[in-house]
Amino acid sequence: MVDYAHLQPATRPVAAEDAQSRIRRIRTDRWIGYARAEAVLAALEDLLTFPKRLRMPNLLLVGPTNNGKTMIVEKFRRAHASVPAGETDAGAAIVPVLKIQMPAGPDEGRFFGAILEALGMPYGARDRVAAKQDTAVRIMRATGTRLLVIDELHNLLSGTALQQRRLLNVLRWLGNELQIPLVGVGTPEALRAIRSDEQLVNRFEPFALPLWTDDDEYRRLLSTLEAVLPLRKPSHLADPAMAGRILTAAEGVLGEIIAIVVRSAVVAVDSGTETISARMIERASFIRPSERRRVAV
């Protein structure tokens, strides 16, 4: 019996499995906790329990693309799972956390359409904006929505100046009307859009999810990642040389850090070396993100 001491207890039995099933495991998306993400989750939890009042606080999660923003709000939404209509006493679904994406080419009709879609409400593409708005607000009340997450908020900027102004008004109105906190998620561009509205900017507290730098937190992330990938030998990813190599190749972007390590781990299993080498990291990062999607990881 080998004890695989470099792995988390739950991963150890997996390390004994054959190459094919381990590769499948390695490629499966998983949640890796890190301090910044836990802090965001705690802040969201705080918002959810905030007592109703006229002006609810809002939060803006800001960071570069592919840096873990959507993963965090998805984890939060899952932690506050909806209850389908058939399973509640009142016969109406309960949706505590509603998450939508700001539509590209945003206008009020599409915005409320996105809400109705997220609520699973059919609507006609030709329904008037006012009708969609009324239905959206009515259903959000009926389903007990306590927090609205708007991902890809920077899509606001793809609208005309007039559309942008109108949508910012809608956001302000919606928060007041339902007395629920809004959580915006987007790139720094989203912050720029919000800043153009003097009243909104005071109500959205920015929470930054910056690029990663070579510090303790980053080393911890690598250690955690290594401990959940079922390789039979340690790779010592958190050692300075390896950590630096991965960070440079990933340009500090979380999604890239994880993709590079995952890709290397697959090579490590496939080749039978069972440990990630500097050369594997180098190769895994030669493939640009746009190409990586086409090549099977």
Ligand X SMILES: Nc1ncnc2c1ncn2[C@@H]1O[C@H](COP(=O)(O)OP(=O)(O)O)[C@@H](O)[C@H]1O
List residues binding Mg ion (CB under 5 A): 70
Q: Token digits for 268?
A: 């490590």
What is the smallest separation between the CB atom of 69 and Mg ion, expressed in angstroms? 5
**Quick one: CA torsion of 60, 41, 66, 97, rounded to 10 degrees?**
-70
CA 53 to mean position of chain CA atoms: 28
- Which residue's CB is nearer to Mg ion, number 70 or number 133? 70
Instruction: Say which entry of ligand X, Mg ion, none residue 66 contacts (CB below 5 to 8 A, set by partner kind).
Output: ligand X
Supply φ then ψ for residue 178, to 5 degrees: -90, -15
Helices 240-250 & 278-286, crossing angle to 10 degrees?
0
Number of residues forming the site for ligand X (CB under 6 A): 16
254 binds ligand X (CB under 6 A): yes
250 binds ligand X (CB under 6 A): no
- Which residue's CB is nearer to ligand X, number 71 or number 129? 71
Stretch that binds ligand X, among 62-70, 77-85, 267-275, 286-294 (CB under 6 A): 62-70
CA dihedral (264, 270, 276, 277) positive or negative:
negative
> In the set 58, 70, 163, 264, which binds ligand X (CB under 6 A)?
70
Question: Which stretches of the chain are assigned E, i.e. beta strand?
Answer: 58-62, 97-101, 147-151, 182-186, 204-208
Q: How far apart are CA 297 and CA 292, in angstroms?
A: 7
206 binds ligand X (CB under 6 A): no
Instruction: Say which entry of Mg ion, ligand X, none residue 63 contacts (CB below 5 to 8 A, set by partner kind).
Output: ligand X
Q: Does residue 244 contact residue 238 with C-beta atoms inside 8 Å?
A: no
What binding mask, one character per residue, do residues 13-52 give for ligand X by CB under 6 A, x or -? ----------------xxxx----x---------------
